[in-house]
Amino acid sequence: MSKTLSIDGQEIPFEDGQTIMQAAAANVYIPHLCHHPEFTPHGSCKLCTVKVNGRNCSACTFPAAEGQEVLNNTTDINADRKKITQMLFVEGNHFCPSCEKTGNCQLQAVAYHLNMLDNHFPLFYPQRELDASHPDVLIDHNRCIFCTLCVRASQEQDGKDVFALSGRGITKHLIVNAPSGKLKDSALVADDRAAHICPTGAILIKRTGYTIPIGQRLYDHHDISDVSLATAETQHDQ
């Protein structure tokens, strides 16, 4: 018999061992970027922060429990989420009109969902490289938000440990586990899950850009909340 918790007054069933994010998945959209149901929760982006019985918690890592009162869609929480999203934009070099991922980018879609109309903070303009050494995959470090999805996908699904993060603060960066540090010398191939999991345009498959025209892409016509709930429902049915 399933237990229940409350999210914004809605009763949500859950099973023992689930996190709040897992419990909410098919019923309530909780904004997130570093979370993916296939991989170990990481809790790094903090977009999924909710109030649980008055305490701030990351929904992707905090265990669901009987009788929890969870606040998710409030003015204050969404204002904090918008600030986090604005900081992600200014800490990297995210120029949506010139990005190949526009319309399919989860960072962009979350910004739309939160009604982010400007960056608010001064742009950092960090000096980051583009690694196009691999015959089939490129990394544009300008767009990396350090969600570690590629790290976890490579370790947990591909069994290769191609990626890792190094440094702290403004010096944090994605590294490739190869003697040269170049993608061409790594074990990555274009079919790997790690090559397709990036929520932004940091990791791209070559020679596939714009096969779906701008204006006809996933988030051009659908809010990310609707996409997330529909995907979760499909996965649940399977």
Query: Is the CATH code 3.30.70.920 the one for domain 3-73?
Result: no
Q: What pLDDT is stored for residue 1 in this prediction?
A: 56
pLDDT at 237: 57
> Is the pLDDT reported for residue 170 higher than 90?
no
Average pLDDT of the chain, as a whole number: 95
In percent, how much of the chain has pLDDT > 70? 97
What are the domain boundaries of the chain? Answer: 3-73, 82-209
Q: Is 173 helix (H, G, I), strand (E, B) or coil?
A: strand
- Per residue in 87-130, pLDDT (tens digit) is 999 999 999 999 999 999 999 999 999 999 999 999 998 889 99
Determine the 3-state secondary structure of 124 from DSSP.
coil
Q: What is the pLDDT of residues 28-76, one digit of tens each?
A: 999 999 999 999 999 999 999 999 999 999 999 999 999 999 999 999 9
pLDDT value of position 236: 60
Which of 30, 31, 87 is closest to 64 using CA atoms? 30
Distance CA 1, CA 8 (A): 23
- Mean pLDDT value across residues 125-145: 95
What pLDDT shows up at residue 21? Answer: 97
- Kindly indicate whether the domain formed by 82-209 is annotated with CATH number 3.40.50.300: no
